[in-house]
Amino acid sequence: MEMNKQGDINYGRVAEAIRYIQQDFKTQPTLEEIAAKVHMSPYHFQRLFTDWVGVSPKKFLQYISLQYAKRMLSNGEPTLFDIAEQTGFSGTGRLHDLFVKIEGMTPGEYKNQGESLIIHYSYFHSLFGQVLIASTSKGICYMGFVDDNNDVFSELFQRFPKANFIEKMDELQQNALKIYRQDWNDLRQIKLHLKGTDFQLKVWEALLKIPMGNRITYGAIAKEIEKPKASRAVGTAIGSNPIAFLIPCHRVIQTTGSLGGYRWGTIRKTAMLGWETAQNDILDL
């Protein structure tokens, strides 16, 4: 009974803190100010809030502020200075840094949503089914397996809603296909154009280090990027991987040894891992 009562008290404090942050984010309250609002020390409040919400009070405040700034950008607010001022930031530098850190792009890039960007895309047959590969002048920006042509293209479009899409095969796409043809010596020619947050990019970079045929757990990836308690966030970043097979998220499994999920289907994931193991066995002969 006592534990239930304490739980109710803790929930009430967290709920009050969330309301305070949502209502007063424009003042950019400090940890000390938020903790005082719920009559707790900053240290104990930080731990309580993080345990209940999953992110620190500072992170939560950043997300709320960023959502407001994004709405202003979408509504065509004239200048970054106006947006920064109305969001409670001391200058445009903090707003810029927040966009880059959380959204993986500058405020201008967010507002443009890929405008003036030319993306070539083509459908190809691979060992594991039809695949859509898209590229910019910088490199491969998307690779997804096709179960429904409209669905996979919609996912690409949502990533770059204002880009100019041209159905055209190019050299970048052809280089990417080499991974399915076992031309692994030429994989250095494959260039990627990734758009993601700092955290996502770190996770995807860690995935690129997994040798073919090997398997690794979400927890091991979290340790690799020096975030040992972030296994759940790692899983979310892996699920957001926009480039199938080239960034080998299929090589990540659960601690129990279970294969876990895969955005392009667990059957395809099983086939990929089995094929890679077979290729390693052949190379060892």
Q: Residue 251 burial (CB < 10 Å; 0-12/13-18/19+)? A: buried
Q: For 34, phi and psi rounded to 5 degrees?
A: -70, -45
Q: Given a cut of 90, is residue 110 above it in pLDDT? A: no
Q: What mean pLDDT comes out for the span 4-11?
A: 70
How much is the pLDDT for 1?
43
Residue 144 counted as domain residue: yes
pLDDT band, residue 95 (cuts 50/70/90): confident
Mean pLDDT comparison of 78-82, 115-119, 150-154, 243-247, highest-scoring range? 243-247
pLDDT band, residue 109 (cuts 50/70/90): low
The contacts of residue 147 (CB under 8 Å, 6+ apart) are: 129, 265
Domain encompassing residue 125: 118-189
By annotation, the residues acting in catalysis are: 249
Structural domain count, the chain: 3
CATH of the domain at 124: 3.30.160.70
User: Between 2 and 75, whose confidence is greater?
Assistant: 75
Residue 108 counted as domain residue: no
- Express the helix, strand and coil content of the chain in percent, nearest 5 each: 60, 10, 30
Strand partners, 123: 132
| End-to-end CA separation in angstroms for the chain | 65
CATH of the domain at 280: 1.10.10.10
Final residue of a domain: which of 129, 161, 189?
189
Residue 113 counted as domain residue: no
Question: pTM value?
Answer: 0.65
Q: Given a cut of 50, is residue 3 above it in pLDDT? A: no
User: Apex CA 282: angle with CA 276 and CA 285, to 5°?
Assistant: 145
How much is the pLDDT for 248?
92
Which range is least confidently modeled, 4-18, 95-109, 117-131?
A: 95-109
- The DSSP annotation for 127-176 comes to TTEEEEEEE-SSSEEEEEE-SSHHHHHHHHHHHSTTSEEEE---HHHHHH
80 and 8 in a common domain = yes
Final residue of a domain: which of 189, 217, 232?
189
Residue 112 counted as domain residue: no
Q: Per residue in 167-202, pLDDT tens?
A: 999 988 988 887 776 555 555 567 888 888 778 888
